[in-house]
Amino acid sequence: MDPLHTVLEADVLIDADGRIAALSAPGDNPPAERSIDASGQVIVPGLIQAHIHTCQTLFRGLAEDRPLLAWLRERIWPLEAAHDPDSLRASARLSIAELLLGGTTAILDMGTVHHTDALFETAVETGIRYTGGKALMDAGDGVPPGLFEPTALALRDSDELANKWHERENGRLRYAYSPRFVLTATYDLLRSVSARARANHMLVHTHASEQREETDLVRQRFGVSNIQLLANLGLADTNACFAHCVWPEPEEFEVLASGGASVVHCPSCNLKLGSGVAPIADYPEHGADVALGADGAASNNRLDGWEELRLAGLLGKYRGGPTALPAVDVFEFATIGGARALGLDVDIGSIEVGKSADLAILNLRRPHALGPDDVYTQLVYSARAGDVRHVFVCGKAVVSDGVLVAFDEADALADADRQRSLLLQRVQLT
């Protein structure tokens, strides 16, 4: 699949640098050091999820049946505050095991406030393409002392992490400044982040307009709507990713269209927290990019890109009628749309000679997927994570024949069990 959505029957040749060297008629490539017979299977760009919280995967099932602000204050923040580097590493490994097995090759991850090195170290070890950063929380009601940080300290720590990790591993790792959301940030922090993003061409990652209670509070407190406020502080025309955007004001579509910010659609999480159905088809119509993300296992409860694709399609039609959001457009959200959101579209998001070989191979000759459908319809509405057979990041195999080869899955599961028990001993939940 190339940017023109062409479906080719072709061999994909990957060079020693992990880049796509050629797309050629089957059998026409020179002999390769290693080859995979993918006859009858579908090769796609690896999925890109532009809003994930790997730090929350250990909390799966621990934060049920709450609206956003209670979900944060009663469960997520106390649990995040109880993380130590070992539990955070276990949470990230469990997340990345699920992501790679399901064909997600790149993520934008919001860390917690502390121990961010553990996330980047895990990304180094596991081979995923990782953009992430520590969550910034220098204000707000109900923020536990373990997560609150004075503005200067939060920024200094971010700068140090950015210096240490940005563009490491040949660019596979990148840093993103990550103010959690407007209600836990000062103007000073948001302005400073905006200035850094502008000066250093770096990504900003935040949440916006997820629930009504949140947007009402923002308007009450600041006298302006949420996305407009981010724009006033200079963030809408940086390379920013705004997760959710379920409740935009009518004029905010134009605000987003005029800048560089992307909307990250998180349909499962929006349904599970009762947030609503985002008007996602309206953003591209106004010129704003859309990406997809599973958000976190504490609000989803999976990190399955295929599930997000299917739901994005279904909800698009629920909102806009049966002709809204054709499958090819939905598939773009999780591939080239995600790449644009991350500022990586020169390198990933489509299968083109010269791009990095971040690829997934699916077997769709299965009872739930077989059909003479348009392949994009198959991918969006029929494919499942379990159909993924092989996955490559930067040309390196991370999943082979449906088995995780980048690291040991059984070890990741056992470590997650162990670290989850230890973490729960460190936290008092109400």
Residue numbers at the binding site for Zn ion (CB under 5 A): 295
Those residues with Cβ within 8 angstroms of residue 240's Cβ, 6 or more apart along the chain or in another chain: 197, 203, 204, 205, 206, 230, 260, 261, 262
Q: How far is the CB of 295 from Zn ion (least distance, A)?
A: 5
Residue nearest to Zn ion (CB): 295
For the beta carbon of residue 281, count every other beta carbon within 10 angstroms: 19
Q: How far is the CB of 203 from Zn ion (least distance, A)?
A: 15
Q: How far is the CB of 264 from Zn ion (least distance, A)?
A: 9
Nearer to Zn ion among residue 82 and residue 135 (C-beta): 135
Amino acid at 261: A
Rounded Cα gap, residues 43 and 363, in angstroms: 9
Q: Say whether 49 sits in a helix, a strand or coil.
A: strand
Nearer to Zn ion among residue 210 and residue 329 (C-beta): 210
Q: How far is the CB of 421 from Zn ion (least distance, A)?
A: 25
Which phi and psi angles does 204 have, rounded to 5°? Answer: -115, 140
Report the run of H or E that residue 52 belongs to, with start and end. strand 47-52
Amino acid at 40: G
Phi-psi region of 72 (alpha: psi -120 to 50; beta: other; left: phi over 0): alpha
Nearer to Zn ion among residue 341 and residue 404 (C-beta): 341
Q: How far is the CB of 429 from Zn ion (least distance, A)?
A: 20
Nearer to Zn ion among residue 241 and residue 393 (C-beta): 241
Q: How far is the CB of 303 from Zn ion (least distance, A)?
A: 12
Nearer to Zn ion among residue 76 and residue 288 (C-beta): 76
Nearer to Zn ion among residue 138 and residue 295 (C-beta): 295
Rounded Cα gap, residues 273 and 72, in angstroms: 11
Q: How far is the CB of 243 from Zn ion (least distance, A)?
A: 5
**236 CB burial (10 A radius; 0-12, 13-18, 19+):** buried
Q: Give the number of C-alpha atoms closer than 13 A to the C-alpha of residue 405, restricted to the C-beta side.
A: 13
Q: How far is the CB of 191 from Zn ion (least distance, A)?
A: 22
Nearer to Zn ion among residue 57 and residue 382 (C-beta): 57
Q: How far is the CB of 180 from Zn ion (least distance, A)?
A: 9
Cα 407–Cα 412–Cα 415 angle in degrees, nearest 5:
140
List the structure tokens of 344.
Answer: 């990586």
Q: Give the number of C-alpha atoms closer than 13 A to the C-alpha of residue 190, restricted to the C-beta side.
A: 22
List the structure tokens of 281.
Answer: 């088809």
Q: Give the number of C-alpha atoms closer than 13 A to the C-alpha of residue 207, restricted to the C-beta side.
A: 31
**403 CB burial (10 A radius; 0-12, 13-18, 19+):** exposed
Nearer to Zn ion among residue 98 and residue 295 (C-beta): 295
Cα distances from 303 to residues 137, 176, 269, in angstroms, run: 25, 20, 10
Nearer to Zn ion among residue 214 and residue 295 (C-beta): 295
Q: How far is the CB of 244 from Zn ion (least distance, A)?
A: 7
Nearer to Zn ion among residue 77 and residue 392 (C-beta): 77
